[in-house]
Amino acid sequence: MAVSFCGRRIVTTRRNFLKIPKRHGYIVLLPEIGEESSEKNPLLKDDNLPEFNTITIEKCIAAIGRQTVEFEEKMNNLEQIVQTKPDLNVFNDCLHQIEETYLPLETTWGIAKTLYFGNQSLMPTKSYMGIHERAIRAASNKFNSRPIFKACKEALENKDIELTHEQKRVLAKYVLEGTLNGLALQDNKQYENYMDDTNFIISHCKEYKTKYEAATGAYNLVIQNREIVEDFPEDVLRSIASNPSQPILGPWTITLRPYILKPFMEYCSDRELRAAVWDADVVRCSMYQEKSVQTSIILEELRARRTEQAQRLGYKHYAEMSMETKMAGSLENLKNTLEILRKTALPAQKQEIANLTEFAKERGFEDDILRVWDVAYWSRKQRRSLYNYDNDEWRSYFPLPTVLSGLFEHIETLFNIKIVESKKADIWHKDVWFFDVFDLNRSDTVPVANFYLDPYARGTEKFRKEQDSGWVSMIKNKSKICNSIPLVALIFNFPPPVGDKPSLLSFKDVQVFFQKFGHTLQHLLTTVEYSDIAGLSFVEWDAVFICDFFMENWLYEPSVLQKISSHYETKQPLPAEIIENIKNMKSYFAGYNLCEELYLSHLDLELHSSGTFWVPMMKRLWPQYFVLPLEKRDVHVCSFEAIWSGSWASAYYSKIWSEMIAADLYKAFQEIKPNDEAQQKELGARFRDTFLYLGGSYPAAEIFRKFRGRDPNAQVLLENLGLIQARK
């Protein structure tokens, strides 16, 4: 279970189930019924942990079939109850029963997703998508019931009903979700039009996704010349070689999949090939390709229909409506913040590009100016030159067992949390570990949560999308009603051990690991009793990555780097020179990278708040954020998949916002006097008691003020990235 958000956007959220937390969808279709089982949840053992040793596709399909029908029937019955029962107790008579019936369904859904990410031989894509769609159709009922919406709204507004803070927050969620699903529309025709908009948007998002995948899959470039790939790391060669077991033999196939495209642009020394692959990427789904994969008309139709739907609810446009579920609060506040960041990042980028151009010319670059397809290649070389960045050498100091034990020690010191490996759980592969999580403030004998860790790459058996990626699969959320504690699966593609040689992580691997673990902690440690607002549920979109970036920030502390590192052979600590280079490398190309994210964020907001055709919009915004000119054939809006078929329309900026909040929170720890362990423990306890405990039971802005005593400051992110000097 994870973040749940509102409005028509929720309908499409689970389409992008690969990268973001789970949210609720709203289409009512009756699923097919799988074979019956008399058990409450046939996929769980007596200890309520998944029975991974015996789970099959057939069992998952049967379980989801039965549970979805049960949930739909329960919702229908509850609608009758809330309309006919006098003196209705909305929690005892309705919401508790929804939670009791929905959680088993969600657990089965989470188990299937975990297998999909972790073992595709047990859960192929086609099978998972069937389960995924089936669960969506059932979950559509949860926040799309007019009688339940009305009952929650009346209970929330009734001053005579005694409610706990958490209960008020649960009701507020039902009211907000329902309102943004059109349930407050009094006129039936208006509501029908709203639902027509919803169905139109869903079908067009699907159509876009199909075209995007077709355009992506259609491109491949076969390289026969070994000299072209001579600088490629072995793991990259393995992913593109015709025979992965002999990666240096070739031929090698380049595609537009992110985990191939990104390293290719960084390591390919042939400039013409880089330009060709870059061009293939930016013309995807555009008028430069065959009509069957063009998306310009679809995205304009999506923009128009999203605007219509928002206006039916009384908003000016879709971007304004989206702010209802964001920590930023308003477009004015958001745009002002992004502009503060841009004003510093753009001048920094100008200097970065000038320095990179000079660096490239000193090493044989013959053109007058760099082009966009040169940046990744030459910046990699410059980064290595400036910081002596040797990925293979650095890997030797980050064996996974050392990183893991160091991270656990840091978490225990900071939050008084103990993590202990356990052998009691079934696992889906011999490499999977299982852990008990103890909150020592509550008990040192009874775990408050559990998680699986599946760290190693296994060829095509595991799902992979980006070069450096990990997945946090939520299996169970905390629920007092269901006597349920959180359960999560962390799934990565780290290099497996070879003989006596342990898994050695790149520094990027370590960054991803810390980020995903921060994300997981917020789910595992919640003290909230209702699953609808526990952990990451009902956390605003732009606040959902705060703990990710907060944990990553610790990687630049020498004391933490020393905890998580040790040469796998010599056991020597990480040299001081490497520690210093890691700290300094954080600010490398920070202006360019921030401008890129700010540009896409602004573009997304403009696309969903303006009726201007996207071509002139793109041409107007580009020079505000980039030193290098927009190339003539660059039509990247057509392949901006996250906002067209994903769920990040008017929300692409969310990671920047989360990163800004995380930097401000981390700054509080930097303000402590060196070696003041008592104050660090006090601050760690305060962070645990707010951001890790409270979940979605309070707005994120209020939780921030509980911790920091003020509102966020964008300047702190600029300091964190090394773009301005830290204030004393």
Lowest mean pLDDT among 106-120, 314-328, 417-431, 453-467: 453-467
Sequence-distant (≥ 6) Cβ neighbours of residue 60 within 8 angstroms: 43, 108, 111, 112, 115, 123, 127, 131
Q: Return the H-helix or E-strand segment holding 221.
A: strand 221-223
pLDDT of residue 414: 96
Question: How many CB atoms are closer than 10 A to CB 334?
Answer: 24
Output the pLDDT for position 460.
81
How far is Cα 263 from Cα 311, in angstroms, rounded to an integer? 43
**pLDDT tens readout for residues 268-306:** 999 999 999 999 999 999 999 999 999 999 999 999 999
Residue 462, pLDDT score: 87
pLDDT tens digits, 484-527: 999 999 999 999 999 999 999 999 999 999 999 999 999 999 99
What are the respective helix, strand and coil percentages of the chain, to the nearest 5? Answer: 55, 5, 35
DSSP, residue by residue, 532-559:
GGSTTTT--GGGTTHHHHHHHHGGGSHH
Taking only the tens place, the pLDDT of each residue in 154-194 is 999 999 999 999 999 999 999 999 999 999 998 999 999 99
pLDDT band, residue 20 (cuts 50/70/90)? very low
Question: How does residue 39 score in pLDDT terms, banded at 50, 70 and 90?
Answer: very low
Q: 728 CB contacts (<8 Å, ≥6 apart)?
A: none
Bigger pLDDT: 7 or 263? 263
Closest CA to 415 of 672, 686, 658: 686
pLDDT tens digits for range 334-361: 999 999 999 999 999 999 999 999 999 9
Question: Among all chains, which residue has been given the structure tokens 């078929």?
Answer: 645
Q: What is the mean pLDDT of the chain?
A: 92
Q: Are strands 417-422 and 449-456 parallel, antiparallel or unpaired?
A: unpaired
In the prediction, which pLDDT does 4 show?
A: 34
Cα of first residue to Cα of last residue in the chain, in angstroms, is 41
Count how many Cα atoms sit within 13 Å of the Cα of residue 158 in the half-sphere of its side chain: 16
Could you tell me the sign of the dihedral formed by the alpha carbons of 146, 29, 483, 446, in that order? negative
User: What proportion of the chain, given as a percentage, has pLDDT over 70?
Assistant: 94
Please give the Cα distance from 696 to 532 (Å, whole number). 8
Write the burial class of residue 345 (CB in 10 Å: 0-12 exposed, 13-18 middle, 19+ buried).
Answer: buried
User: How confident is the model over 10-19, as pLDDT tens digits?
Assistant: 333 322 323 3
Question: Over 60: is that where the pLDDT of 678 sits?
Answer: yes
The pTM score is 0.93
Pairing between β-strand 433-439 and β-strand 449-456 as defined by DSSP bridges: antiparallel
- The distance from CA 384 to its chain's CA centroid, rounded to whole angstroms, is 29
CA pair distance 232, 268, nearest whole angstrom: 8
